[in-house]
Structure 1
């Protein structure tokens, strides 16, 4: 099988400060200052062309950080990401300029991706029709609801026809009719052999749409494989987690936080 995405030993870390003065100390101190938080730690996996991978994990595990790295929005701190083809991220506000109108955002995004004026002129009506946000298309994006931002972002990304599609909770807002329309479009991409990464809290959507599952657990890969093998293990974890008391959940959160932070 031909590889489309190869992630090797990827880590992403951020400095944590409790006050502004610590930022200055970090800059002037030879060894740095403060604590470092690992959003991702030594992540490795591969995806083939035509793979549809559901990225699962509890909140705060690093799913969105990983999706941004795959799409090339942010760089990893260490490790490498190799992608074969154009990647596009669909998230609620990804890539949208708040001061510009929806129509202007369409033109800007297409220009940035190398489309010429005639191509943009041809694509724009299709994108507007799919987004279906009415007269808001000519209003600044800052006036949009989360659902409208998601609609526009999805419409732009699918019509630029990327080779790798990364969808981060973009179907979690808005109405079911639009979500169904998006899933239909994603199935078209699936049939064309494109690679899709799908992040959603809807386990039923995952089971219905994805063939593989990548379980990210507190910054590292817990399990990666076929959906029917990984999802049952994840569901067991979620079931056990929900049975925990508030004190047990807090203790677990503190333990995880401590394991993901190091002193400079």
Structure 2
């Protein structure tokens, strides 16, 4: 039943502003820039449900939004709109996620474990098993920035599976390891499946997907193209890739340009209107559908820009700081300046206190 789901995403979108400079990003955060910044919709209304103990595969061409969706589910980044409900602790394994470059492998193990709520005693007990599983030798005491992609993947996977998460998310982490480590990972994933763990598996390898996954979601340029039984979806995806490979270079470029144009010009207002109309047709007796859809879209969203009240508060604090700086430079007390603000424009070399002439 749907109420027993482990992960549910509903009408999830993700917009990225394409800033050219850090100053543009800062101005946008404070909402003081009038310049229209180009944007790109990595996800355009994704809805799917993952049941407890299910292994879901995410497939799609590069740039389709697979990693974006897995990062939203794991809580690394927020969605722009939509509802996300994750019932349990998540642990994500990705080549470039979750490891601090300036810390050693051993320090990263402790940091990530502490962030998952483990005690130092539990970490000390678990540490030898993680190090043995990662099998990176003396590099465990070297900064992670010196690791190869394969070593990072080994360490990340070893940490993730040993902190015993409810939901394990694997994002292309098996694509860089050697055959020995790959088999070790597959054995561990199989063990997790037998224990009834929920797994989200992102990969370009359809053989890995077919071997490990119960269900597959095909994300195609930000849209959920298809979700269903593994064999059915992978066969349709193979048909698509075969068709794409047969296109000429010019035709491939035209197709990709068209799809990216759709992602750039996606309208969240039109999408919200579409969902509202669908809901009204399904439940004509319900009232105030519009407000319910608005709450579904934005009720659990964390804004990535400052609200109007926060902007006002920031400006107020800034003005107070500037005022006290000017008072300090003027040589007069706050009381003198408040009684005669023009004193700020005429600094004194002698500090004048109230009641003292």
Is TM (by shorter chain) over 0.5?
Answer: yes
Cα pair 1:89 1:166 within 8 Å, conserved: yes
Contact 1:36 1:263 in 2 (8 A): no
Please state if 1:15 is matched with 2:17: yes
1:119 matches 2:118: no
Partners in 2 of 1:263 and 1:226 — Cα distance? 29
The answer for the alignment partner of 1:108 in structure 2 is 111
Cα distance change on mapping 1:111 and 1:23 into 2, 3 Å: closer
Whether contact under 8 Å (1:39, 1:219) holds in the other structure is yes
Compared CA separation, residues 119 and 69, structure 1 to 2 (3 A): same
- The answer to whether residue 153 in structure 2 is matched with residue 150 in structure 1 is yes
2:32 aligned partner: 28
- 8 Å Cα contact 1:93-1:153 kept in structure 2: no
Aligned to 1:194: 197
* 1:176 match: 179
State the secondary structure of the residue aligned to 1:128.
helix
In 2, Cα distance between the equivalents of 1:117 and 1:35? Answer: 46
Cα offset, 1:28, TM superposition: 2.4
Q: Which of the residues 203, 208, 221 maps onto 2:206?
A: 203
**CA pair 82-180 structure 1, distance change in 2 beyond 3 A:** same
- Per-residue Cα deviation, 1:48-92 (whole angstroms, up to 9, x for no partner): 001111100001100110110111111101111101110111001
Higher strand fraction (1 or 2): 1
Aligned counterparts of 2:26 and 2:114: Cα–Cα separation in 1: 39
Is residue 41–residue 266 contact of structure 2 (8 Å, CA) maintained in 1?
A: no
Cα separation, 1, equivalents of 2:82 and 2:62: 23
Are 1:25 and 1:33, in contact at CA under 8 Å, matched by a contact in 2? Answer: no
Q: Indicate the SS of the match to 1:28.
A: coil
Deviation at 1:17, TM superposition (A): 3.3
Tell whether 2:81 aligns with 1:78. yes
Q: So what's the TM-score if we normalise by structure 2? A: 0.71
Contact 2:56 / 2:201 at 8 angstroms: preserved in 1?
Answer: yes
SS in 2 for 1:161: coil
CA distance in 2, matches of 1:182, 1:142: 23
Query: Could you say which residue in structure 2 is the equivalent of 1:130?
Result: 133
Q: What residue is the counterpart of 2:257 in the other structure?
A: 254
Structure 2 segments unaligned to the other structure (5+ residues): 268-357
- TM-score, length-scaled by structure 1: 0.95
The CA distance in 1 between the partners of 2:240 and 2:266, in whole Å, is 30
Tell me if the contact between 1:167 and 1:199 (Cα under 8 Å) persists in the aligned partners. yes
Distance 1:50 1:20, change over 3 A: closer
Aligned to 1:52: 55
With CA pairs under 8 Å and 6+ residues apart, which has the higher RCO, 1 or 2? 1
Determine which structure has the larger helix proportion and give its number: 2
Aligned to 1:33, the other structure's residue is in SS state coil
Does the Cα contact within 8 Å between 2:71 and 2:77 map onto a contact in 1?
yes
- Comparing 251-260 with 19-28, greater Cα deviation is found at 19-28
Q: Distance in 2 between matches of 1:43 and 1:219?
A: 8
Which runs of 5 or more residues in structure 1 are unaligned? none
- Structure 2 distance, partners of 1:139, 1:20, is 32
The answer to whether the 8 A contact 1:34-1:263 is kept is no
Q: Highest Rg: 1 or 2?
A: 2
Cα distance between partner residues in 1 of 2:33 and 2:110: 45
**Contact 2:131–2:140 under 8 Å retained in 1:** yes
Give 1:40's match in structure 2, choosing from 43, 48, 71.
43
Cα distance in 2 for partners of 1:209, 1:149 equals 22
